[in-house]
Amino acid sequence: MEILGITLSQDVLAAMGLIFLGSFVQTAIGFGLAIVAAPLLFQISVDYVPAPICLVALFISLINSYKHRSDISIGGLKLALYGRIPGSIVGGWLLLYVSASLLSLTLGIFVLIAVLISVLPFRLEPTPRRMFGAGLLSGFMGTSSSIGGPPMALLLQHQDANALRGNLSAFFVFSSIISLIVQVAVGVMSYKHLVMTLPLIPAALVGYCSP
């Protein structure tokens, strides 16, 4: 099947299904797109990780940010965004030197970290130092593997549901742009990855509309 010059092979359809699930989860709880989609997308094609997922995350985050714009506190995210910049640079450096097999292992480790963070029995207050550190770790994880949400979700989990979704989405808008700039600089984001992302956007939109 071919639409607008893009061949919808079985692999592309499978990728669209994973993005649908990931977008559904991210819209429902504020994060989770990459946790759900990245490991299996990597098995379909290593080129799906991290750049196309970051592009989809930017798209979904823009929509969610607008939806929850009244609940966003940009001032509270500044230190996290400052931390995201050096973290993203280190994550980009990692992409320059790791093999596909090592990146696969890194993905697995980051998913495990995400799961462990989600089941922690205590709550951390978002102090300035912790926000910077969470942004730093999010930048490293998000730029190298696209899984950058859990550190920020851990610190913001005390907020009500709409504020959590809004602030995470706003953070992901800026952080995705930072990651994509770094990925372009190190050569893992190109026209090819943009084309790969095109059929994923409608799947993400359907996932967004489903919760």
Residue 211's pLDDT is 66
How far, in Å, CA of 201 to CA of 132, rounded? 31
Which segments of the chain have a pLDDT < 50? none
Alpha carbon 37 to chain centroid distance? 10
Q: Give the pTM.
A: 0.94
Per the DSSP assignment, residues forming a β-bridge with 132 are none
| pLDDT tens, position by position, 144-186 | 999 999 999 999 988 999 999 999 999 999 999 999 999 999 9
Residue 8's pLDDT is 84
Sign of the CA dihedral running 10, 204, 51, 138: negative
Strand ranges (E), the chain: 2-3, 6-7
Residue 52's pLDDT is 98
Cα separations in angstroms, 56 against 5, 46, 93, 193, 203: 20, 16, 22, 11, 10
Residue 12's pLDDT is 95
Would you call 109 helix, strand, or coil by DSSP?
A: helix
How far, in Å, CA of 7 to CA of 12, rounded? 8
151, 137 contact by CB (below 8 A): yes
Residue 2's pLDDT is 57
